[in-house]
Amino acid sequence: MANETPKDHKMKLAVLTSGGDSAGMNAVVRAVVKGGILKGCDTWIVREGYEGLVRGNTEAEAPLSPIRSANPDVHVHDPSFIKNLRFGDGELLRDGTGDHRGGRVLERPVHCASRLGRCPWVVCPGEQADITSGSSSDTYSQGGTLIGTARSKAFRTPEGRLTAAYNLIKEGIDALVVCGGDGSLTGADLFRAEWPSLIQKLRAEDKITDEQVARHGHLKIVGLVGSIDNDMSLTDMTIGAPTALHRICEAIDNIHSTAISHSRAFVLEVMGRHCGWLALLAGVSSGADFIFIPECPPQSNPWEDEMCKAIQRHRDIGKRKSVIIIAEGALDRDLNPIRAEYVKDVLVERLGIDTRVTTLGHTQRGGRPCFFDRFLPTLQGLDAVDALLEATPDKPSYMIGISENKITRVPLVEAVKMTKAVAKAIEEKDFDKAMSLRDPEFRESLEGFIATSTLESEPRLPTEQRMRVAIMHIGAPAGGMNAATRAAVRYCIRQGHTPLAISNGFRGLLDDNIYELSWLGVDNWIVRGGSELGTNRTLPDVDLGAVAAKFQQHNIQGLMMIGGFEAFNALLIMENGRKHYPAFHIPMVHLPATISNNVPMTEFSLGSDTSLNALVDACDAIKQSASASRNRVFVVETQGGKCGYIATMGALAVGACIVYTPEQGINLDMLRDDVKFLKNRYNLDVKGKNEGRIVIRNEAASSVYTTEVITKIFKEEGGSLFDSRSASLGHTLQGGIPSPLDRARAVRLSLKCMAFLEKYNEILRKHSQRSKVITGESAAVITIQGSGVKWVPVEEMVAHADMKNRRGTHTWWEGAKDLVEKLVARPQLI
């Protein structure tokens, strides 16, 4: 069969969302549609998942009465399920959200952005905006999926898939992006595998022509994982899982106060039929006492003794609250389900603890997507389009994933196979295998949970291997600093080390502000923002000799510094000081924590996720206000020092139309183009409808073109077309309560830091003359690079640091600024 597509053929791509809804699906649709248009594709959406594919564009054939969508409260009024998103062709895209706004389907005419030529639409909540808008009416801030999702019985049948294939071919669509959970991607994989036989059958039935056979011989298909459970193998994260984790942690954070007040236990059931990721991560990042996950049931049989022993130990040392988290698919080692009500009964009957059950249910799915569920789907959606464009019949279909910080493509079939293998391993009671099939981060998180929640009767290390470990915060506060400290303290106690807090950085050390931390004393630190130890920017060279003397006086044998650029600098100073001061012949680590994310060589610092979530929250509120009264451009100023990370990533996540960074600076030509872009953009908007737009400016982007100056320029130039205002987010970006991802990452990295200190302490301990064996490697920074965690000796970091501007010489996110502009079609509109 001929399956070559003509070279000049314009790819027609469709995107659908399927299975359970998840936050971030709208951002996927937006990114795929915009990415497709930018790459010259004809872009379509399919409503109601596979069900829409099976029902097809039935308008011409049999008028349909309103069809119930996956959401029973929403009716889809438009009978066509497969919709070409096209400008100026008289069609209006209607989504079901009109219904809950008083039964009115919102419509408005859209004018053609002529520079983009035949420019399709992107689906917008309750109203339509074109892809160039970058306006307040974007889809980012909405949870769920605005193009609808469904669980389609018909698509599970060969006849249903045959009809789906026919509907795609009828519209000339040759590429499909499927965003859904493992079921949806299994369906996608099957559809792709069956495609040649479906084509043959359709030809045999004379439903398609030879020409169509030749053109559609190969279905290009790409999967994006939209699932709140994070249950797909070969990707670290699925779209919607971080937001669900936010919802769970918000609930647990709220429960803490009532639990403490009444000295109660709370048993929380969270989603996750076959995957314990939500329960595990919620356990790690909320400081729970005990968790139940399907992949790793409690070791003892019966498990009730193990749980009661753990909870009682915590109570014995004075803990007033207990939190137990259960994944809905939790099992014991004999595969009997473990139910929240039963766990409650056990706690009440055996320990006499007043216990309540809270089932979070569908609240976990809902709400505004967090930063990560805007950022990840945007990058993955754009990559999906590239993957489709590069697809050939001899290449496998890909699933777009993420590994640490890298967008990855893995064969869809492999990912589906491996995901099923986890369920099979659980069924076969091979829990070691089930754990080994999860990604390394999952395993490390479980180790982290055990290390930070299990009180043991005896320290694990012999006396001679124990250390006095000092922990210090340096620089500005950042979300996760306290969580990292708590994890380090608990690890130390478990091993037999002595955890020492140095309060108020090097100044505090010089004032002997140093004390031992206890297991219970740090209990609530996991959810606390700011710095419990106190932090400042003083460096050890304030008096290096005196600092060394204090190290000696307090017999410090290992040091962990948590902070930003100053902490890196401090480590460098002390490493250089080793020549003169033997007190520094100890292992020393720096765990990067700064909202600016300006520490060289690491792609993430603790606190930057918290900060981006604060920025997203603030910008959502500002956008609402910006479009409330008239056309208005808000110039939002962010912190970040000389590093534009927060500004750029924030701009990408909130759909800002311009971002100013210190790396690029600001000049008059740029401002002239920006004014031109804004004027052209506002001229394309619908008259009479207010649009708010966001411009993000890093505080140090220019000393001349300040936020005030830019706001005044925009106001002056906007004339009657648009107004301009400014907002400075300032210290709100430090974010209050740390985000769950920052907390979980803090635990994971902190434990790696402790293992590092132990490793080098052992090397040094075995030699009487430490100066002979001490190397630069024992003073290092823990970094996240690409898809792994790497230790970089501080000396090596210097080559990658711009010491004057206090940032790295290389920034992995550089391309994101271009992406922000591309997504609002700035290049076409200036």
Q: Is 229 among the residues known to form the active site?
A: yes
Q: What are phi and psi of 72, to 5 degrees?
A: -60, -20
* Interacting residues of 827 by C-beta distance below 8 A, sequence separation 6+: 821
Binding mask 308-347 for ligand ATP (x = CB under 6 A): ----------------------------------------
Distance, CA of 65 to CA of 428 (rounded, Å): 47
Residue 24 found at the interface with ligand ATP (CB under 6 A): no
User: Between 124 and 164, whose beta carbon lies closer to ligand ATP?
Assistant: 164
Catalytic residue among 229, 439, 609, 685: 229
Closest by Cα among 823, 614, 589 to 736: 614
User: Between 180 and 587, whose beta carbon lies closer to ligand ATP?
Assistant: 180
Closest by Cα among 548, 596, 546 to 568: 596
Residue 477 found at the interface with ligand ATP (CB under 6 A): no
- Please give the C-alpha separations between residue 473 and each of 53, 514, 532, 553, in angstroms, as whole numbers: 55, 12, 9, 20
Residue 156 found at the interface with ligand ATP (CB under 6 A): yes
Among 127-135, 181-189, 449-457, 534-542, which window interacts with ligand ATP (CB under 6 A)?
Answer: 181-189
Residue 491 found at the interface with ligand ATP (CB under 6 A): no
User: Between 2 and 193, whose beta carbon lies closer to ligand ATP?
Assistant: 193
Among 149-157, 324-332, 588-596, 662-670, which window interacts with ligand ATP (CB under 6 A)?
Answer: 149-157
* Interacting residues of 766 by C-beta distance below 8 A, sequence separation 6+: none
CB of 226 to ligand ATP, least distance (A): 8
Record the tokens describing residue 138, joined without a space.
């974007």
Among 12-20, 285-293, 413-421, 459-467, which window interacts with ligand ATP (CB under 6 A)?
Answer: 12-20
Residue 535 found at the interface with ligand ATP (CB under 6 A): no
In whole angstroms, what separates CA 232 from the centre of its chain? 15
Among 178-186, 420-428, 670-678, 724-732, which window interacts with ligand ATP (CB under 6 A)?
Answer: 178-186
User: Between 343 and 413, whose beta carbon lies closer to ligand ATP?
Assistant: 413
Residue number with the smallest Cβ distance to ligand ATP:
183
User: Between 84 and 184, whose beta carbon lies closer to ligand ATP?
Assistant: 184
Q: If 0-12 CB within 10 Å is exposed, 13-18 middle and 19+ buried, where does residue 766 land? A: exposed
CB of 440 to ligand ATP, least distance (A): 22
Among 184-192, 645-653, 716-724, 752-760, which window interacts with ligand ATP (CB under 6 A)?
Answer: 184-192
Q: Find out whether 761 is annotated in a ligand binding site.
A: no
Among 106-114, 150-158, 581-589, 720-728, which window interacts with ligand ATP (CB under 6 A)?
Answer: 150-158
Q: Find out whether 37 is annotated in a ligand binding site.
A: no
User: Between 86 and 274, whose beta carbon lies closer to ligand ATP?
Assistant: 274
Distance, CA of 259 to CA of 349 (rounded, Å): 18
Closest by Cα among 648, 827, 823 to 36: 823
Q: Find out whether 655 is annotated in a ligand binding site.
A: no
Give strand ranges (E) for 287-384: 290-292, 322-327, 355-359
CB of 241 to ligand ATP, least distance (A): 10
CB of 432 to ligand ATP, least distance (A): 25
Residue 155 found at the interface with ligand ATP (CB under 6 A): yes
- Contact residue for ligand ATP among 180, 242, 377, 592 (CB under 6 A): 180
DSSP 768-807: S-HHHH--GGGEEEEEEETTEEEEEEHHHHHTTEETTTTE
User: Between 156 and 406, whose beta carbon lies closer to ligand ATP?
Assistant: 156
Q: If 0-12 CB within 10 Å is exposed, 13-18 middle and 19+ buried, where does residue 454 land? A: middle
- Contact residue for ligand ATP among 50, 290, 584, 760 (CB under 6 A): 50
First to last CA, the chain: 47
Among 151-159, 300-308, 498-506, 614-622, which window interacts with ligand ATP (CB under 6 A)?
Answer: 151-159
Task: Name which of residues 212 to 251 contact ligand ATP (CB under 6 A).
Answer: 227, 229
In whole angstroms, what separates CA 410 from the centre of its chain? 19
* Interacting residues of 489 by C-beta distance below 8 A, sequence separation 6+: 471, 499, 517, 518, 519, 521, 522
Quick one: CA torsion of 515, 516, 521, 525, rounded to 10 degrees? 70
Residue 285 found at the interface with ligand ATP (CB under 6 A): no
- Contact residue for ligand ATP among 74, 92, 190, 675 (CB under 6 A): 190
Closest by Cα among 397, 381, 399 to 236: 399
- Contact residue for ligand ATP among 14, 17, 19, 293 (CB under 6 A): 19
Residue 698 found at the interface with ligand ATP (CB under 6 A): no
Q: Find out whether 364 is annotated in a ligand binding site.
A: yes
* Interacting residues of 793 by C-beta distance below 8 A, sequence separation 6+: 776, 777, 779, 780
- Contact residue for ligand ATP among 97, 136, 137, 184 (CB under 6 A): 184
CB of 387 to ligand ATP, least distance (A): 19
**What contacts 24+ positions apart, CB below 8 Å, involve 113-119?**
113/87, 113/684, 113/825, 113/828, 113/829, 115/825, 115/828, 115/829, 116/37, 116/87, 116/825, 116/828, 118/86, 118/87, 118/88, 119/37, 119/86, 119/87, 119/88
Q: Find out whether 595 is annotated in a ligand binding site.
A: yes
The maximal CA–CA distance of the chain, rounded, in angstroms, is 89
Q: How many of the chain's residues bind ligand ATP (CB under 6 A)?
A: 18
CB of 25 to ligand ATP, least distance (A): 11
Distance, CA of 457 to CA of 310 (rounded, Å): 11
In whole angstroms, what separates CA 275 from the centre of its chain? 18
Closest by Cα among 413, 520, 415, 423 to 190: 413
* Interacting residues of 328 by C-beta distance below 8 A, sequence separation 6+: 269, 270, 271, 272, 273
Record the tokens describing residue 113, joined without a space.
């952005």
Q: Which residues are annotated as a binding site for substrate?
A: 227-229, 264, 271-273, 328, 356, 362-365
Q: Which residues are annotated as a binding site for Mg(2+)?
A: 182
* Residues at the contact surface with ligand ATP, assessed by CB under 6 A: 18-20, 50, 151-152, 155-156, 180-184, 186-187, 190, 227, 229
Indicate which residues carry an active-site annotation.
Answer: 229
Q: Which residues are annotated as a binding site?
A: 20, 151-152, 181-184, 227-229, 264, 271-273, 328, 356, 362-365, 537, 594-598, 632, 639-641, 699, 725, 806
Q: Which residues are annotated as a binding site for ATP?
A: 20, 151-152, 181-184
